[in-house]
Amino acid sequence: MNQNIKSEIGTIRIHKKVISSIATIAAKEVEGVARVGGSIKGFIYSLLKQNQAGSIDVNIDNNNEVSLTIPIVVMYDYSLPEVASRVQENVRKMIEKSTELNIKQIDINIQKVETKEGVKK
């Protein structure tokens, strides 16, 4: 499903994959995030050598509001609530800035804690 934005001369469609890609980049930017993924879905994507953006769930409701569920792996020695809320804020800011869409909710699933040696960005 795509997100439709009407302009004066036509319709702009933003695919869900675009939203999840922006969310992945924004989440990775946050200090303390080892990687995006870590869920079973993310593991399947990594086996298929696909972009981890696929592991993010994007839902668009009837009011054209976007809800995201982002699985992340956090680096050891960082406060989990702090990292999670910074990811929520950064993802919201980046999606709103890039797509001008309304964000309803950003849920974060912390799947794992890793040390620096185990990090593969």
Partner 1 sequence: MRVLTKLGIYFYTIIIVIIGVAMISLAVGVINAYEIAAFIHTFNITNIRLIMAFGGALLILVSLLFSQVIFTKIKREKTIAFQTPNGEVLVSLSAVEDLIRRTTIEVEGIKDARPDVIAGKKGIEVNLRLTLNDEINIPEFTARIQDMIKSRIQEMLGIDEAIIIKIFVAKIVTKEIKARKKKEIEQEETPIPFQGYKR
List residues near partner 1 by CB under 8 A. Answer: 67, 73-74, 76, 78-82, 84-85, 88-89, 92, 103, 105-115
Cβ nearer to partner 1, comparing 13 with 93: 93
Residue 10 Cβ, how far from partner 1 at the closest point, in Å? 32
Residue type, 75: M
Cβ nearer to partner 1, comparing 54 with 71: 71
Residue 121 Cβ, how far from partner 1 at the closest point, in Å? 18
Q: Which residue is listed with tokens 């839902």?
A: 59
CB crowding 26-43: b at 16 or more within 10 Å, else e: bbbebebbbbbbbbeebe
End-to-end, the C-alpha distance of the chain in Å comes to 29
Cβ nearer to partner 1, comparing 24 with 88: 88
